[in-house]
Structure 1
Amino acid sequence: MRGVQALAPASPLVLTAAAAAGALGVAAMFRGTKELKPTVQGQSTAWNSAILSLCPALTAPYRQPGWMPRGGHFETILAAWFRKKPHVLYDREIVHMPDGGCVALDTEDLPAAQQLPQDAPVLILLPGLTGGSEDSYVQHAVVHAREAGIRAVVFNSRGTSGSPVLTAQFYSASFTEDMRNVVAHVRNQYPHSLLFAAGWSLGANIMTRYLGEEQDRTPISAAVALCNPFDLPLSDSNFQQGFNRIYDWNLARSLNRIYQNHHHLFEAEAANGEGRPYRPDVAIGAKTIREFDDAITRIAFGWPDVDAYYAGSSSSLSIPDVRIPLLVIQAADDPIAPKEAIPFEALQANPQCLLVVTPTGGHLGWSGGPDGVTGACSPGAPWTDAAVAEYFTAARQLLAQPEFAAAAAARPAQPAPGEPAGVWTMEETTHQAP
């Protein structure tokens, strides 16, 4: 297709392009930037062609500051530690789930002059493992969405971002059940709005699994997955190699911090002869994500062991079943969601999917772009923010055109908006993100 280049993990074309990009990057370093072009893969559908014509950010050179060393570790750590935050003020809604658990949904609290129309498109955001609405990359996405006329709703999973844990249900009965209930709840609140979704890292994996399970039944019209690990067994193996052990240890510490406030609930459940056989003594001191998942997560989901849980929960399995437009953005040097895990063939085979791979960016880093670095070493908004806002703006425009509106209308009729049984608002508050 015009403007779309097929990408294979080790094709001569890609290797040649990478070598040329590397040479250009060295030359650009002396001009203060490294210009490295993303690689794009997708079928020549009318939607993909239109998206690429309306979204120049997806194919424009990725401009990394010349002083920044190449390699995913540097960009990942720099963004995690030094990225500036917009300090968003949120309205928070605690939503009860049918099994007794609850999640927190955050929307930006705005003055009257900045309020969006009630029927403005709604973007559901799914942060990564242990992430939430206070994270810098999430706050920037909320602001960019609002500037594009889109209302962002941050889906904070159980226990994250201060979402309360009331029972030994740290997770729902399935990997995607909370997502399904949250989508239905948001649709009920905004019945006349287009629904979009975007997820990062594990949030991207959960979102993609949901899209594969729901297929034509989802009310979401378009979605974006960023830094998706895709193949959880491969990502688990990758965590155990070299410097990546630092990420594994750090994420396990974050899980511990969330879990320790609720440890007593899991102790009581494990001590109950009819309760789930959690291993709270292991979870409280877990040094790796795998240890924690084996002690808590896979038991909550009903998997016999952690390897079965990883294999069965990988979103690479879901790509063939996705039935709505899905933009996938990955970084070739991502140390946590490795390039080797990207299901290139499945993405190419599905006409709904479009894959963009930036040559660098790390994990949730992406410090290139017009405002990606502000000052000597202080990253601003991720490069992906402008690209994602551009994508959803284009999707909104295309879905209003007869050709694409007809295709959307051909999907199975959705039931009238209504709350699923057992889903209800428990509490509403306002809070300032740090």
Structure 2
Amino acid sequence: MFTEKSALPVVRNRNDFIYRLSVKDKDLIFENFDSAPWCLNGHFHTVLCSLLFQPSEAGYERIEIETPDSDFLQLDLYEIPGSTKIVLLLHGLEGHSRRYYIARLAAYLNRRGISAIAMNYRSCGGKMNRNRKFYHSGETDDLHTTLKWVQNRFTGQSIHMAGFSLGASSMLNYLNKYGTRHPVNSAAAISTPFELKKGSLNLEKGFNRVYTRQFLTTLIQKLNQKKERFPDLPDFNGSTLYNFDDQVTAPIHGFEDADDYYGSCSSAFFMHRIQTPLLVIHSKEDPLCPFRWVPHKEIARNSKVNACFTKKGGHVGFWSLPPGWLNRVITDYFLAY
């Protein structure tokens, strides 16, 4: 839980957390992150959480909404009657709304009296979308459509967002694009790929190639499926995520090449411009998005951004004892707004 603390911009404790939590003119601190001892490094947190954590069985309603370009988006709604807050949840690359980190956070939010809605990016909800486009790390149009729908459906409720990995990047691009012209009260970005090119090239190294193969397997399957309807879509003949973004993601979504896409959408270059209260959570052992690429100076000089960096933990996966630290921290932050 949050507890009030005398004014102190940075706090370091035995787990080497870094906090700067100024919420509504109060300084607040989080509970400690105590890593499960069997998670020996960031890969263990990342892989074991993904393999062993099951989605919550909390009930949800699958909803399809139309987009302005005559496509559709699939949303999972976890509604709590009488709730005054709703949180929009955004998954990572080739994830979906039933991934453990999305469904478990939604269930925990419900237990704390907060409604949640999980958005599936195009092609990720179990049903191929209609149009040529897929999604990418800087996608904001579908997020804008979803937020307008949430605003109209849940009139009077405060709206919050939590994005994981690619979802965090998309969310930050949205917040940067719209400034204060959006309905979001506060947001949380978890395991953000702040510098997209560096993150993409990092996936070509060592054990990270395992993650690359997993991503490419479904990306290629979806591309081939969509080429049956749109045979002029680009072919893919590479072996890395950088190759895929260069040959497929970039041209489909209007970028010149992978470098143009990465340069245009990397949140490291605009964190100082975010005007929405934001919590950044990142592990110093994140194997996919190494901590050294977190834009520390830009975060530090933006009074709207609060940082929580853990010594242990992985990419999206944070196996704590007792379990559920990540969900508690995110929920506590939203409750403060």
TM-score (norm 1): 0.72
Identity of aligned residues (%): 27
Aligned positions of 1:107-146 closer than 5 A: 107-108=77-78, 115-117=80-82, 120-146=84-110
**Structure 1 alignment gaps of length 5 or more:** 7-13, 22-35, 110-114, 271-277, 373-380, 396-434
CA distance in 2, matches of 1:41, 1:344: 12
**2:32 pairs with 61, 65, 89, which one?**
61
CA distance in 2, matches of 1:326, 1:46: 10
SS at match of 2:7: coil
> Residue in 1 aligned with 2:180?
216
CA distance in 1, matches of 2:320, 2:297: 28
Query: Counterpart amino acid of 2:315?
Result: H
Asked if structure 2 preserves the Cα contact closer than 8 Å seen for 1:94 and 1:163, the reply is no
CA distance in 1, matches of 2:45, 2:327: 16
> Residue in 2 aligned with 1:5?
10
Query: Counterpart amino acid of 2:18?
Result: T
SS at match of 1:168: coil
Judged with a 3 Å threshold, the aligned counterparts in structure 2 of structure 1 residues 125 and 163 are, in CA distance, closer, same or farther, namely farther
Judged with a 3 Å threshold, the aligned counterparts in structure 2 of structure 1 residues 63 and 160 are, in CA distance, closer, same or farther, namely same
Query: Counterpart amino acid of 1:49?
Result: K
CA distance in 1, matches of 2:189, 2:39: 26
Aligned positions of 1:381-400 closer than 5 A: 381=324, 383-395=325-337
Asked if structure 2 preserves the Cα contact closer than 8 Å seen for 1:175 and 1:301, the reply is no
Give 1:48 shift.
6.2
Aligned positions of 1:197-212 closer than 5 A: 197-212=161-176
Asked if structure 1 preserves the Cα contact closer than 8 Å seen for 2:89 and 2:162, the reply is yes
Asked if structure 2 preserves the Cα contact closer than 8 Å seen for 1:230 and 1:315, the reply is yes
CA distance in 1, matches of 2:173, 2:304: 15
Asked if structure 1 preserves the Cα contact closer than 8 Å seen for 2:61 and 2:78, the reply is yes
SS at match of 2:287: coil
**2:73 pairs with 90, 93, 103, which one?**
103
SS at match of 2:24: helix
Deviations 1:30-51 (A, max 9, x none): xxxxxx2422246xx563634x
CA distance in 2, matches of 1:188, 1:103: 16
Give runs of ≥4 in structure 1 deviating > 6 Å: none
Give 1:85 shift.
2.5
CA distance in 1, matches of 2:141, 2:224: 24
CA distance in 2, matches of 1:149, 1:46: 20
Query: Counterpart amino acid of 1:313?
Result: C
**1:80 pairs with 27, 50, 71, which one?**
50
**2:146 pairs with 170, 177, 182, which one?**
182
**2:18 pairs with 28, 39, 64, which one?**
39
Aligned residue pair count: 331
CA distance in 2, matches of 1:154, 1:168: 23
Give 1:244 shift.
1.3
Asked if structure 2 preserves the Cα contact closer than 8 Å seen for 1:253 and 1:287, the reply is no
> Residue in 2 aligned with 1:94?
64
Judged with a 3 Å threshold, the aligned counterparts in structure 2 of structure 1 residues 89 and 262 are, in CA distance, closer, same or farther, namely farther
Aligned positions of 1:329-408 closer than 5 A: 329-370=281-322, 372=323, 381=324, 383-395=325-337
> Residue in 2 aligned with 1:29?
none
| Larger helix share, 1 or 2 | 1
Asked if structure 1 preserves the Cα contact closer than 8 Å seen for 2:204 and 2:240, the reply is no
CA distance in 2, matches of 1:197, 1:46: 16
Deviations 1:25-79 (A, max 9, x none): xxxxxxxxxxx2422246xx563634x1xxx4x2x3321233x143111111111
Query: Counterpart amino acid of 2:81?
Result: L
**2:26 pairs with 43, 49, 74, which one?**
49
Asked if structure 2 preserves the Cα contact closer than 8 Å seen for 1:148 and 1:393, the reply is no
Asked if structure 2 preserves the Cα contact closer than 8 Å seen for 1:79 and 1:365, the reply is yes
Query: Counterpart amino acid of 2:68?
Result: P
Asked if structure 1 preserves the Cα contact closer than 8 Å seen for 2:284 and 2:309, the reply is yes
Give 1:89 shift.
3.1
**Structure 2 alignment gaps of length 5 or more:** 1-5
Pairwise CA RMSD: 2.1
TM-score (norm 2): 0.91
Structure with the greater alpha carbon radius of gyration: 1
CA distance in 2, matches of 1:318, 1:224: 16
